Structure 1
Amino acid sequence: MNVYLVIILVILIGEYFLDLIVENLNVRRASPVLPEEFAVYYDADKYKKSQDYLKENTRFKLIKSAFFTSVILAFILAGGFNFADKAAGSFNLGPIFTGLIFAGMLMLAVRLL
């Protein structure tokens, strides 16, 4: 494992945990009770529904984020970028078209997920 790989892994994992902490703080501070200052302007039932939606949406986002982070880490550690580079370079079309094929392969992989 080289230094650059370690830096990339630390950044990816750190970003995931930072997002996890921020979202948990956000959900923890969400209250179903409408603040008095907004009682005149906003319906209490709608506010409660929006807070419930925030909690459910955040839960789904965290599950999705955990899945994609683990897939990206597995792809990196399994040598997926090297495989894609060799596959794109096997066409011998020059650096520009090889780069386009490489980017296209990665975009297709992300799209399929």
Structure 2
Amino acid sequence: MNIRPMDLQVLITRATEVSKAQEITDHQPTLQQQIFGQQWQQVTANRQQQVQGAAKNEGGKIQREKEYKEKQDRGSNRKGQAEKEIHSKPVHSASAEDPIRGHNVDLKT
């Protein structure tokens, strides 16, 4: 293969450009990994600062437990009020008790 002097001058100047391009392509995977690592660190730092919410399926469970506790509280309050009303009202034992119909008399005025 014959190389003319003009071709040699062009090849020498192109060789430095090609070597720079080759160096960039050689280091590109490591640069991408470094960039990815930095981005991942930012994501993890952001996630550590955020408050995580409950998952959808857990949210229903939490809600049901809350409602259950509220119902229990309301039920215990009603029982306590009913007991207070029973003990505060004078009831005649002879007229209120009936062995056939039951033990409570419901009077409407």
Of the two, which has the highest radius of gyration?
2
Give the TM-score, by structure 2 length: 0.31
Q: Which is helix-richer, 1 or 2?
A: 1
| Greater RCO (CA < 8 Å, at least 6 residues apart) | 1
